[in-house]
Chains A and B, each alone.
Chain A
Amino acid sequence: MRIALFVTCLADTLYPSVGRATVRLLERLGHQVEFPQGQTCCGQMHINTGYQKEALPLVRRYVETFEDCEVIVAPSGSCVGSVRHQHPMVARACGDEKLAQRAEAAGRRTFELSQLLVDVLGVDDVGAYYPHRVTYHPTCHSLRMLRVGDRPLQLLRRVEGLDLVELPDADVCCGFGGTFALKNSDTSTAMLADKMRRVLDTRAEVCSASDSSCLMHIGGGLSRLRTGVKTVHLAEILAATRAAA
């Protein structure tokens, strides 16, 4: 299958290894990955901070870049949630019904990585090897905007060598919330502290998720306290093989 990658601005700029892992994984499964060069950012930060007018050009850019692609994948539940649910809403709020309909069509073909693998490509064993103790934070927008359910766990359970430990209170937010972490940094930090306590209680070496933004938040806290636990994106675990290890 030809699959267009929406790498997301955060992975592109700060976590390119997540994008490379997504490409490696999908190519290993026999698919052809494209990277439309016109892509930039989904605009979620603007929308969630109240700057819908500023987000409109980014909605238009996403639609124009991806509307001819058959299937689009992004290694971020949050960005896919924004594409699917917020893009049409922003276009409508700005009075552009035509763009809203094009955004809806593009959104229907945009998938979060675990949804693409399990629902569209029909695989749960991707042939990965990752000999580490891992716990998984399911992320709010994956759970409650996209309803990915336990698809990431289905994929992780089939990874050879991986010791998957359940994260208590997994469905509770880590406290990131985009500019929430800046505007309400004290409350955000209190939420982060509780999330980190849960992660540390599992004695995992690695906390994984399918969203670089949540991982930047949780990982930023784990690093600051020198906990010795690192954050690794789901794509990087699924891309790892015995050969590469």
Chain B
Amino acid sequence: MSTYLGMPTAPKGVGHLRGSEPFPAAARRALADTQLRHNLAMATATIRAKRAAVVAEVPDWEELRAAGQAAKAGAMRHLDRYLEQLETQVQARGGTVHWATDAVAANRIVTDLVAATGSREAVKVKSMVTDEIGLNEALAAAGITAHETDLAELIIQLGHDRPSHILVPAIHRNRAEIREIFLREMAAVDPALTDDPAALAEAARLYLRRRFLAARVGISGANFAIAETGTLCVVESEGNGRMCLTLPDTLITVMGIEKVLPSWQDLAVFLQLLPRSSTGERMNPYTSMWTGVTPGDGPRQFHLVLLDNGRTAALADETGRQALHCIRCSACLNVCPVYERVGGHAYGSVYPGPIGAVLSPQLTGVEENASLPYASSLCGACYDVCPVKIDIPSVLVHLRARHVDEARKERRLPHAEAIAMAAASWVMAEPRRYSAAQRAGRLGRPLGRRGRIGQLPPLLSAWAQARDSPVPPSQTFRQWWRDEHRKPS
């Protein structure tokens, strides 16, 4: 068994990687929200079908997945070299590179950069990583207002809500709810606004246009960074991102260190994998790429903040590190039967669903998100759709083992379960003990009524809340076999 020592994880008290309660409790509440269940079932079914259709069009999809996996694994193997190359190239083209160990450092760097411009406002491109570190809250504490400009992120921000999906942050909201949020929160909105999607989009467009034209600072994440030329890339649908990337004087990009790719050739693979896996489109409408600063065109200042925040700790885990290959397409969320029923908030992290269940615990340290690796039935649907072939079920099982080993080391294993597991191991390691246990199990037979058992003792009682259990048979298979094969000899 391996041990994981020394690598700093994402700090507590900042950002959005930890929930306030364990997954089962949060899930129980979400399951009771009928509107949420309906919205999610509709939305995930639609996007699943779209993805399946466009993926089926690509004859060499499996080869593309393998190429994506290999490119990411190669980038991770020499991450130090590619990051330094990226830094050199960005600086050579007039950009400035900042290194941030964690969320606290990144927030301080960005806040100082915005403050130095004298602006009290910034427009934001949709980005997971700035939500991971809680940048909007950090800016607000310094008196700076961050305006989300992605339509769904705007809905979340205006609704004082939290995103629940990587690609579609407001997937838990339907258009009637969105109309209510706009009417309540947008100052100059037409009171006759309907819930027609075109009308809602127009209201958002009018609201955002004023922000774009006034903005002097733009803040973004990055889908990819290309080490050989120092080029950053953002992939989006709406064009609002491009407004933020081109109109302001100052552009600040925060990027997890795992986003770097060695070359443009690698990027070609991902620009094929990402849109089909993500929005179910052959190609996304806007792909913005920029390299340093260009006099007379676009931002005059460009800052790149390279963020660790637990990524090096994840990289140290041979099995778990593949979670860093994720390109945030969210295909695994859309096919996950757990995600579809509980939604993203139950995971407590900005990264929900199957990928979140393997990523968040590695960024924070497994013990601070110990319920997440168990938030899966291990059905394997996520692995099948992952465009970079992250074996999520195997990583989940591995993180469960890390959790048990940690608890074992500190002598705080969940009591009844650990005893039951140790006992079952002792019994099943030896057929004679196993047969004796089977005989003891038949003591449960009197619990049966008409061939079924309706109630079970503690440890198993959760099962009996919704399911009957079989009555142990009068004869096990092995007893039957012995009886059958005793006769001839």
Q: Which of B22-48 contact A (CB under 8 A)?
A: 23-24, 27-28, 31
Beyond A144-B381, A220-B470, 8 extra complex contacts between A and B, CB < 8 Å: A11-B477, A50-B403, A55-B425, A177-B378, A181-B467, A183-B24, A192-B467, A221-B466
Q: Mark B394-431, 1 if CB is under 8 A from A, else 0.
A: 10011011111100100000000110011011001111
A141 and B425 contact, Cβ closer than 8 Å, known pairs A19-B477, A186-B28: no
Which residue of the partner chain, among A16, A51, A61, A177, contacts B377 with CB atoms under 8 Å?
A: A177
Per the 8 Å Cβ criterion, residues 296-322 of B in contact with A are none
A-B contact pairs, 27 of them (CB 8 A): A12-B477, A16-B480, A35-B481, A50-B405, A52-B401, A54-B424, A57-B425, A58-B425, A93-B1, A95-B1, A140-B380, A144-B383, A172-B381, A180-B374, A180-B376, A183-B374, A184-B24, A184-B27, A185-B466, A187-B341, A189-B465, A190-B31, A219-B470, A220-B468, A220-B469, A223-B452, A223-B468
Q: Using a CB–CB distance below 8 Å, which chain B residues touch chain A?
A: 1-2, 23-24, 27-28, 31, 337-338, 341-342, 373-381, 383-384, 394, 397-398, 400-405, 408, 417-418, 421-422, 424-425, 428-431, 434, 438, 441, 452, 454, 459-460, 462-463, 465-470, 472-473, 475-478, 480-481
Give the docked Cα–Cα distance between A185 and B456 (Å). Answer: 14
Find chain B residues with CB under 8 A from A23 CB. Answer: 481
Q: Which residues of the other chain, B, contact A224 by a CB distance below 8 angstroms?
A: 454, 466-468
7 nearest A-B pairs in the assembled complex, by CB-CB distance:
A177-B377, A220-B467, A50-B400, A50-B404, A173-B379, A144-B380, A54-B425
Residues of A within 8 A of B (CB): 7, 9, 11-17, 19-20, 23, 35, 37-41, 43, 45-55, 57-58, 61, 86, 89, 93-95, 140-141, 143-145, 171-173, 175-192, 194, 216-217, 219-221, 223-224
CB distance from B6 to the nearest CB of A (A): 21
**Chain A interface SS verdict (over half):** helix
A15 in contact with B470 (CB, 8 Å): yes
If A12-B438, A189-B466 touch, whether A46 touches B421 (CB-CB below 8 Å) is: yes
Assuming the contacts A14-B472, A181-B463, A182-B463, asked whether A187 and B477 have C-beta atoms less than 8 A apart, the reply is: no
B381's partner among A15, A40, A43, A173 (CB-CB below 8 A) is A173
Partner of A180, one of B377, B401, B417: B377
B contact residues around A177 at 8 Å (CB): 376-379
Q: Which residues of A contact B337 (CB under 8 A)?
A: 172-173, 175, 191
Assuming the A-B contacts A51-B425, A140-B379, A182-B459, are A38 and B431 also in contact, with contact meaning beta carbons closer than 8 angstroms in the complex?
yes
Least CB separation from A171: chain B residue:
B381
Give chain B residues whose Cβ lies under 8 Å from the Cβ of A20: 477, 480
Cα distance, A47 to B469, chains bound together (Å): 23
CA distance A221 to B422 in the complex (A): 29
Q: Identify which of A41, A51, A95 gathers the most chain B CB atoms within 10 Å of its CB.
A: A51
Return A48 CB to nearest CB of chain B, in Å. 6
Q: Are A186 and B475 in contact (CB under 8 A)?
A: no
- Nearest chain B residue, comparing its CB with the CB of A57: B429
Chain A residues near B460 (CB-CB < 8 A)? 182
Instruction: Specify which chain A residues have a CB less than 8 angstroms from the CB of B403 in the assembled complex.
Output: 50
Give A89's nearest chain B residue, CB to CB: B394
Q: Which residue of B lies closest to A186 (CB)?
A: B28
Determine the distance from Cα of A46 to Cα of B421 in the docked complex, in whole angstroms. 7
- Across the interface, do A13 and B441 meet the contact criterion of CB distance under 8 Å? yes
Q: Is the CB of B428 within 8 A of A41?
A: yes
Q: Is the CB of B397 within 8 A of A48?
A: yes
Main SS at interface, chain B: helix
B468 adjacent to A35 (CB under 8 Å): no
A183–B372 Cα gap in the complex (Å)?
A: 11
Bound-complex Cα distance A189 to B424 (A): 25
Report A-chain residues with C-beta under 8 Å of the C-beta of B418: 51
Q: Looking at the assembled complex, report how far the CB atom of B1 sits from the nearest CB atom of chain A, in whole angstroms.
A: 6
**A46-B421, A50-B404, A220-B463 known; A37+B478 contact, CB < 8 A:** yes
Nearest to A176 among chain B residues (CB) is B377
Closest to A37 in B: B431
Evaluate contact between A184 and B397: CB separation under 8 angstroms: no
Q: How far is the CB of B468 from chain A (nearest CB, A)?
A: 4
Cβ contact of A191, chosen from B341, B400, B467, B475, cutoff 8 A = B341
B380 and A141: CB pair below 8 A? yes
Question: Are B377's CB and A191's CB within 8 A?
Answer: yes
Q: Is A40's CB under 8 angstroms from B431's CB?
A: yes
Contacts of A223 in B (CB 8 A): 452, 467-468
B452 and A145 contact, CB distance less than 8 A:
no
* CB contact under 8 A between A221 and B467, given known A12-B438, A46-B425: yes
The contact of A16 among B341, B405, B441, B477, by CB within 8 Å, is B477
Complex Cα distance A51/B397, Å? 10
| Most A-side CB within 10 Å, residue of B378, B421, B467 | B467
Residues of B within 8 A of A53 (CB): 1, 405, 408
Q: A58-B425, A175-B377, A185-B462 are in contact. Are A216 and B477 (CB under 8 A)?
A: no
A14, B473: Cβ atoms closer than 8 Å: yes
* Residue from B337, B384, B404, B472 whose CB has the most chain A CB atoms within 10 Å: B337
Q: State whether B422 touches A187 (Cβ < 8 A).
A: no
**Contact, CB under 8 Å: B384 / A144:** yes
Closest A residue to B27 by beta carbon equals: A187
List the B side residues contacting A13 at CB < 8 Å.
Answer: 438, 441, 472, 476-477
* Pair B377/A54 contact, Cβ less than 8 Å: no
In the complex, how many angstroms separate the beta carbon of A43 from the nearest chain B beta carbon?
A: 8
Residues in A with CB closer than 8 Å to B398 are: 93
Residues of B within 8 A of A94 (CB): 1
> Which residue of chain B has the shortest Cβ distance to A145 in the bound complex?
B380
What's the Cα separation between A43 and B376 when bound, in Å? 18
Complex Cα distance A220/B23, Å? 25
